[in-house]
């Protein structure tokens, strides 16, 4: 059904060529008011302005066109235009991206953004481009934290046995296994219902996503573990992008940069205001956490998932960025 819907929307957007393909659909998994929604609107507004109205756009938010994997596959077959997605499912297409998901690798936001806006980030966008996708720009979700319905998480011992939804990501799953949880990979559209029904006890996401999803309705505790920096990426379909003129490609690249800048600004705002929002909605927020024991267990269990296959070069380069 999802692919039928995707195909129907694409058919409405497509005409005989890229010049005539006026309305660009920007798909993502979160609400229009989320940081993804802010970024998607910035993309649309910038593209419309730069093109003098030759291109307009609309959002397809809240997984309307399927989960992130569905949307990425839609880009590959030409039934989607532009997608803002986490890197969770993208590692299945570009395994080197798993390096970005290593726990406790990035020191802070400044470090992460410098890496992704620099040489390393461009190399990874180029690798994305070898997989029938177009990587336009790196954006972000933020540093990830743990929520659950059972108890406060202050030490790794508190994670023992918790059924924790993770992304479909080998590195994340290995990290949480090492820290004592029972990771349960699950597509994003299924998560809220699974938490509501007790299929899983908790999940892990940045404050931006926790607030956008209103997880306070199904979760009691949030622990600010900051265990993984969660990037996101603005992708386009080669079926669309390769048919553009150089000038038009420039518009799309500038729109993607504007999208990333707007998303990061919203992440900054929500990092400052989001905790207060969680508290106001009844969540217990645990801020005093010794991250060192978490880091030791997570690194021991998960880094080899990446380094045994791809070596330590990328990890060392990321750590060396000042």
pLDDT tens-digit series, residues 70-80: 999 999 999 99
Core vs surface per residue 121-147: b (16+ CB within 10 A) or e:
beebbebbbebbbbbbbbbbbbbbbbb
User: Average pLDDT for residues 229-248, to the nearest whole number?
Assistant: 97
* Any domain includes 322: no
* Any domain includes 189: yes
Name the percent of the chain in helix, strand, coil, to the closest 5: 50, 20, 30
Domains: count for the chain: 2
| 224 closest CA partner among 283, 140, 165 | 283
75, 169: one domain: no
- Check pLDDT > 50 for residue 13: no
Helices (H) and strands (E) in the chain, counts: 12, 10
102, 60: one domain: yes
- Check pLDDT > 70 for residue 274: yes
222, 310: one domain: yes
215, 289: one domain: yes
Percentage of the chain with pLDDT > 70?
Answer: 93
64, 203: one domain: no
pLDDT of the residue at 258: 98
* Any domain includes 224: yes
More confident residue, 91 or 314: 314
* Any domain includes 319: no
User: Average pLDDT for residues 196-204, to the nearest whole number?
Assistant: 98
The angle subtended at Cα 160 by Cα 154 and Cα 161, nearest 5°, is: 135
* Any domain includes 260: yes
**Residue-averaged pLDDT of the chain:** 92
Range of the domain at 151: 145-228+275-314
User: Average pLDDT for residues 126-149, to the nearest whole number?
Assistant: 96
39, 84: one domain: yes
- Check pLDDT > 60 for residue 217: yes
Contact 152, 221 (CB under 8 A): yes
Per mean pLDDT, which range of 4-18, 91-105, 222-236 is the poorest? 4-18
What's the CATH code of the domain at 63?
A: 3.40.190.170
93, 173: one domain: no
165, 187: one domain: yes
* Any domain includes 192: yes
Give the contacts of 261 (CB within 8 A, at least 6 positions apart).
42
137, 239: one domain: yes
- Check pLDDT > 90 for residue 143: yes
Token duo for residue 268? 């900054």
pLDDT of the residue at 248: 98
Could you give the CA distance from residue 13 to residue 224 in angstroms, rounded to a whole number? Answer: 42
Could you give the CA distance from residue 281 to residue 289 in angstroms, rounded to a whole number? Answer: 22
CA atoms within a 13 Å half-sphere pointing along the CA-CB vector of 40: 25
- Check pLDDT > 60 for residue 18: no
User: Average pLDDT for residues 223-250, to the nearest whole number?
Assistant: 97
* Any domain includes 320: no
- Three-state DSSP class for residue 142: strand
User: Average pLDDT for residues 140-156, to the nearest whole number?
Assistant: 97
120, 243: one domain: yes
* Any domain includes 321: no
Q: What is this structure's pTM? A: 0.85
pLDDT of the residue at 21: 55
74, 199: one domain: no
214, 80: one domain: no
Longest dimension (CA), the chain: 59
């Amino acid at each position: 059904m999802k692919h039928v819907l995707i195909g129907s929307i694409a058919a409405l957007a497509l005409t005989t060529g890229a010049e005539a393909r006026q309305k660009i659909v920007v798909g993502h998994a979160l609400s229009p008011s989320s940081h993804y929604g802010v970024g998607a609107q910035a993309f649309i507004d910038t593209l419309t302005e730069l093109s003098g109205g030759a291109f307009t756009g609309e959002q397809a938010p809240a997984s309307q066109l399927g989960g992130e994997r569905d949307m990425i596959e839609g880009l590959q077959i030409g039934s989607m235009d532009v997608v803002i997605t986490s890197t969770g499912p993208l590692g299945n297409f570009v395994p080197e991206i798993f390096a970005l998901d290593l726990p406790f690798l990035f020191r802070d936001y400044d470090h992460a953004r410098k890496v992704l806006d620099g040489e390393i980030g461009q190399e990874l966008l180029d690798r994305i481009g070898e997989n029938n996708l177009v990587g336009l720009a790196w954006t972000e979700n933020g540093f990830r934290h743990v929520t659950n319905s059972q108890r406060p998480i202050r030490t790794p011992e508190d994670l023992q046995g918790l059924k924790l939804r993770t992304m479909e990501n080998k590195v994340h799953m290995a990290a949480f296994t090492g820290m004592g949880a029972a990771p349960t990979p699950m597509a994003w559209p299924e998560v809220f219902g699974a938490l509501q029904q007790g299929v899983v006890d908790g999940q892990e996401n940045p404050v931006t996503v926790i607030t956008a999803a209103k997880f306070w309705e199904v979760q009691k505790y949030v622990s600010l573990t900051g265990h993984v920096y969660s990037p996101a990426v603005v992708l386009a379909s080669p079926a669309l992008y390769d048919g553009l003129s150089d000038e038009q490609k420039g518009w799309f690249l500038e729109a993607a940069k504007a999208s990333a800048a707007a998303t990061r600004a919203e992440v900054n705002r929500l990092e400052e205001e989001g905790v207060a929002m969680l508290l106001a909605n009844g969540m217990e927020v645990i801020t005093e956490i010794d991250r060192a024991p978490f880091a030791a267990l997570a690194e021991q269990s998960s880094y080899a998932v990446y380094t045994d296959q791809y070596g330590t070069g990328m990890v060392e380069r990321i750590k060396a960025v000042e």
